[in-house]
């Protein structure tokens, strides 16, 4: 009987929370309890605080009333970043003025689609595609830490890198979408970074200043800044550049395009314990090969050590915004995007679109969805395995409907053999299927959500 009452109590709590979409969104956005100190939901408004201490003392940073939601969302589309920042910081608990609302309404640049055309089902739809990473060579991919180097049972190396797969997927998808009438923007169309200052030049001339600026704006901690300035290795500096310079630049390009849908293209590579055992056995066999010279054995061992661990598993997963962690609301820009995700339908729409992507990964690639939990990821839909809310850099910065896809495991040997043909200038069949999965998901989302809503 006691269990029955507990169940009824939980049901009533869930029901009461479920009546407010904002509460459901917030449950997916908060990946650490400390973040609850930055926000409060009122009956007719959402209030943001610069810190949990400010919430305790009632010092409001920005309150958006229900009848201001659309003005706030339009503001994000028409003002530049610094103007958005000023408007947010200066608002407090006051309302937007009539003059400010008129200014935003007059500058609203959102363009609706032209209507449904059976022969051009995506006519008027804008799709942004971001091929993850930047490497244009295997050596660059090693520095980026996004490469595959497997050794098959015959001892032969299989090498390729993710940035090339991502770019081939994006180009193939672009062709498919444009044939359906969509306008498509690729953030990159070559094997190089998007940010206009080359990394080497940036490192020599802008690195230290960038670290100080990111520290000032609370994008990084004092400990991280000290490490970067005093003892960071080359790969750590490159990681900082990609996370704090390159990705925000790509996100600004996407947001300026005002896409109906954004595709964040990636491929996964998850290690498992048997893989490390396999490496150990290979090294043991090399050491036992008395016919090889010491130099040959050393070279073979180095290749095994450098290689990526093989996995016997293969699965897919998709990600939408959410799961903000401790420290990830310290920067005002992050709080602005957090607020957007609470008051807009971006999260629900992204989940719907991501479900379509996941369904197509399963159907076209014959790869099951992930059935496990991942660090810093929250299940985004309890009816769909493999769909997670996670605060990746790009999922936080890009506005609107989006999905970051991980369609398969690159370090599964069966997949790796097929994918490695990318090094011969070919587009692997698996890559074509991944592009088709995104394409069919976009068509379904446009038909079921955008067309029905007349947006």
* Region at 363 (left for phi over 0; alpha for psi -120 to 50; beta for the rest): alpha
Q: Is residue 354 part of a domain?
A: yes
According to the model, what pLDDT value does residue 453 have?
64
Phi, psi of 401 (to 5 degrees): -85, 125
131 and 101 within one domain: no
According to the model, what pLDDT value does residue 89 have?
97
Rounded to two decimals, the pTM is 0.88
Q: Is residue 78 part of a domain?
A: yes
**Secondary structure (DSSP) of 110-178:** -------BTTBTTTT-EEEEEE----SSHHHHHHHT-EEEEE-TTS-EEEEEHHHHHHHHHHHHHHHHH
185 and 54 within one domain: no
Q: Is residue 279 part of a domain?
A: no
154 and 70 within one domain: no
Q: Is residue 9 part of a domain?
A: no
**Is beta strand 183-186 parallel, antiparallel or unpaired with respect to 261-265?**
unpaired
47 and 178 within one domain: no
140 and 93 within one domain: no
412 and 384 within one domain: yes
161 and 80 within one domain: no
Q: How many domains does the chain have?
A: 2
CATH code for the domain in which residue 164 is found: 3.40.630.40
Contact criterion met (CB below 8 Å) for 82 and 75: no
Q: Is residue 185 part of a domain?
A: yes
According to the model, what pLDDT value does residue 375 have?
84
Task: Please list the pLDDT of the chain residue by residue as tens digits (455 residues).
Answer: 444 443 333 334 444 444 489 999 999 999 999 999 999 999 999 999 999 999 999 999 999 999 999 999 999 999 999 999 999 999 999 999 999 999 999 987 565 555 567 789 999 999 999 999 999 999 999 899 899 989 888 888 899 999 999 999 999 999 999 999 999 999 999 999 999 999 999 999 999 999 999 999 999 999 999 999 999 999 899 999 999 999 999 999 999 999 999 999 999 998 765 444 455 566 667 766 778 887 877 777 677 666 778 888 999 999 999 999 999 999 999 999 999 999 999 999 999 999 999 999 999 999 999 988 888 899 998 778 999 999 999 999 999 999 999 999 999 999 999 999 999 999 999 999 999 999 999 999 999 987 666 55
365 and 244 within one domain: yes
Domain boundary, last residue among 79, 107, 135 = 107
* Residue 99 structural domain: 36-107
Q: Is residue 378 part of a domain?
A: yes
Q: Is residue 114 part of a domain?
A: no
384 and 245 within one domain: yes
246 and 100 within one domain: no
Q: Is residue 2 part of a domain?
A: no
88 and 181 within one domain: no
190 and 86 within one domain: no
């Amino acid at each position: 009987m006691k269990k029955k009452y507990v169940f009824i109590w939980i049901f009533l709590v869930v029901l009461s929370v479920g009546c407010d979409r904002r509460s459901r969104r917030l449950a997916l956005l908060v990946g650490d309890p400390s973040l609850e100190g930055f926000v409060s939901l009122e009956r007719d408004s959402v209030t943001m605080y610069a810190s949990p201490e400010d919430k305790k003392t009632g010092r409001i940073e920005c309150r958006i009333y229900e009848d201001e939601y659309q003005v706030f969302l339009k503001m994000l589309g028409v003002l530049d970043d610094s103007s958005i920042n000023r408007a947010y910081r200066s608002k407090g608990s006051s309302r937007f003025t009539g003059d400010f609302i008129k200014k935003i309404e007059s500058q609203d640049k959102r363009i609706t689609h032209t209507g449904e055309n059976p022969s051009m089902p995506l006519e008027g739809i804008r799709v942004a595609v971001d091929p993850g990473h930047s490497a244009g060579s295997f050596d660059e991919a090693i520095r980026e830490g996004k490469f595959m180097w497997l050794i098959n049972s015959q001892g032969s190396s299989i090498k390729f890198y993710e940035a090339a797969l991502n770019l081939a997927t994006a180009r193939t998808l672009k062709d498919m979408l444009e044939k359906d009438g969509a306008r498509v923007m690729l953030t990159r169309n070559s094997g190089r970074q998007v940010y206009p200052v080359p990394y080497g030049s940036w490192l020599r001339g802008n690195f230290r200043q960038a670290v100080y600026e990111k520290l000032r704006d609370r994008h990084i901690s004092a400990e991280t800044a000290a490490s970067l300035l005093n003892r960071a290795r080359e790969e750590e500096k490159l990681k900082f550049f990609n996370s704090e310079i390159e990705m925000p630049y790509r996100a600004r390009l996407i947001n300026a395009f005002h896409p109906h849908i954004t595709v964040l293209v990636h491929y996964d590579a998850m290690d498992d314990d048997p893989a490390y055992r396999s490496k150990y056995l290979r090294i043991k066999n090399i050491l036992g090969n008395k016919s090889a010279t010491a130099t040959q054995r050393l070279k073979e061992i180095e290749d095994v050590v450098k290689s990526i661990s093989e996995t016997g598993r293969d699965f897919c997963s998709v990600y939408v915004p959410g799961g903000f962690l401790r420290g990830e609301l310290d920067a005002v820009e992050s709080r602005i995007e957090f607020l957007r995700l609470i008051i807009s339908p971006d999260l629900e729409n992204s989940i719907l679109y991501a479900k379509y992507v996941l369904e197509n990964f399963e159907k076209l690639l014959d790869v099951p969805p992930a059935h496990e939990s991942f660090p810093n990821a929250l299940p985004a839909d309890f009816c769909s395995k493999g769909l997670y809310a996670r605060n990746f850099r790009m999922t936080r910065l890009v506005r609107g409907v989006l999905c970051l896809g991980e369609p398969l495991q690159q370090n599964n040997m069966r997949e790796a053999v097929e994918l490695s043909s990318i090094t011969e200038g070919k587009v692997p069949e698996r890559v074509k299927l991944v592009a088709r999965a995104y394409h069919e998901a976009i068509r379904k989302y446009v038909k079921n959500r955008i067309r029905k809503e007349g947006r």
